Amino acid sequence: MTTAVKAGAASTSDTPGPILRVESLTTSFRSGGAWHPAVRDVSFDLARHETLALVGESGCGKSMTALSIMGLVPKPAGRIAGGHIWFEGEDLTQLDDEAMRRIRGDRISMIFQEPMTSLNPVLTVGFQVAEALFYHRGMSGREADRMALDLLEQVKIPSARRRFADYPHQFSGGMRQRVMIAIALACRPQVLLADEPTTALDVTIQAEVLALLAELKTAYGMSMVFITHNLGVVAAIADRVAVMYAGEIVEIATVRELFRRPTHPYTELLMRSIPRVDRNIAELETIQGQVPSISAMPPGCRFAPRCPLREPRCEAAPPPLAGRSGHHVRCVVRAGA
């Protein structure tokens, strides 16, 4: 279906409102002859020029949420089983592959998690940055190369002109990540999805990449979904935070509110597990137990088996995401907190 489906509540480029709206997104995978949701009932808005952080343990559904937005859920094992993804009035879940290709890498871009496996090892970094300009902008080779060189300079690649014809293996981890950022920003996207872009970097390079992303976001007027498991990074770059657990958003609030008053038991335990320079503690707290597999989810609250506050009602039915004043929590025990 190539015709864009219009959302009455969604915004267009001429009206205020969220640039991206995810409504009740469910993404499922087939395992053991049945479909199991890896992402279930995920909803959030992304305002214009806002940075929203998706936070949680590995395997909680952060990256799969981003891949669903990009239309990159691996088929036939995976599928978007329900919900809507509204982008500037278009429901991306209703677009065919060719329509999504025109949007992907142009109006919505993604920085993937591991640059060494995301970059093509047999193509020069200059060609890989210029490729999106060939496809989406129809530029000549000379024009695309000139703009690609400008992009490499914008992301602060040292001696960019000399390194233009180098290959990914000739770059350090931090420099490869900058190349990935240049590729994602080549067409000046309206929305950038950054999937743990600082995970494999040391602290100094991590700070440089975060500062660069913040600078380019302002310069390009983008909105950003920043995926991470590092709450320290969240405090440095995000405006709002959505905490995910076992495929669901369990808490969403502004950065200031979440750090001041973490309400969901999972969020609270995550906060306690972070080392802090202002506390003298012998050892860090840990969250007991394991994240359930997608084929063996608890019938009620998915965090209940690991939760120190669980009550019998927690295991009766899945709790809704509820709250007020922009702070929403998926917890029947803390619902009125």
Backbone Cα Rg of the chain: 21
- If asked whether residues 97 and 18 sit together in one domain, one would say yes
As a whole number of angstroms, the distance between CA 86 and CA 20 comes to 6
At residue 173, the pLDDT reads 86
Contacts of 235 (CB under 8 A, 6+ apart): 255, 259
Asked if residue 169 belongs to a domain, the reply is yes
Flag whether pLDDT at 2 surpasses 60.
no
Lowest mean pLDDT among 62-66, 199-203, 257-261, 263-267: 199-203
- If asked whether residues 157 and 240 sit together in one domain, one would say no
- If asked whether residues 44 and 171 sit together in one domain, one would say no
- If asked whether residues 211 and 74 sit together in one domain, one would say yes
Asked if residue 153 belongs to a domain, the reply is yes
Please give the C-alpha separations between residue 150 and each of 165, 210, 297, 324, in angstroms, as whole numbers. Answer: 14, 20, 49, 45
Closest CA to 198 of 206, 188, 190: 206
- If asked whether residues 8 and 98 sit together in one domain, one would say yes
Average pLDDT over residues 290-301: 90
- If asked whether residues 152 and 209 sit together in one domain, one would say no
Flag whether pLDDT at 26 surpasses 70.
yes
- If asked whether residues 198 and 172 sit together in one domain, one would say no
Q: At which of 263, 286, 309 does a domain end?
A: 286
Q: How many CB atoms lie within 10 A of CB 212?
A: 17
At residue 286, the pLDDT reads 81
**Percent of the chain at pLDDT exceeding 90:** 66
Q: At which of 186, 212, 234 does a domain end?
A: 186
DSSP 8-state assignment for residue 302: T
Residue bearing the bigger pLDDT, 287 or 26? 26
Asked if residue 236 belongs to a domain, the reply is yes
Helix runs in 33-166, H state only: 62-70, 97-103, 115-118, 125-137, 141-154, 160-163
Asked if residue 68 belongs to a domain, the reply is yes
- If asked whether residues 233 and 209 sit together in one domain, one would say yes
Residue bearing the bigger pLDDT, 233 or 194? 194
Flag whether pLDDT at 1 surpasses 70.
no
**Percent of the chain at pLDDT exceeding 70:** 92
In which band, very low, low, confident or very high, does the pLDDT at 230 lie, cut at 50, 70 and 90?
A: confident
Can you list the positions of beta strands (E) in 116-247? Answer: 191-195, 223-228, 240-245
Is the pTM above the cut of 0.85? yes
Q: Are 224 and 36 in contact (CB under 8 A)?
A: no
Domain containing residue 100: 1-107+189-286
Mean pLDDT over the full length of the chain: 89
At residue 4, the pLDDT reads 37
Instruction: Please tell me the total count of domains within the chain.
Output: 2
Average pLDDT over residues 39-64: 94
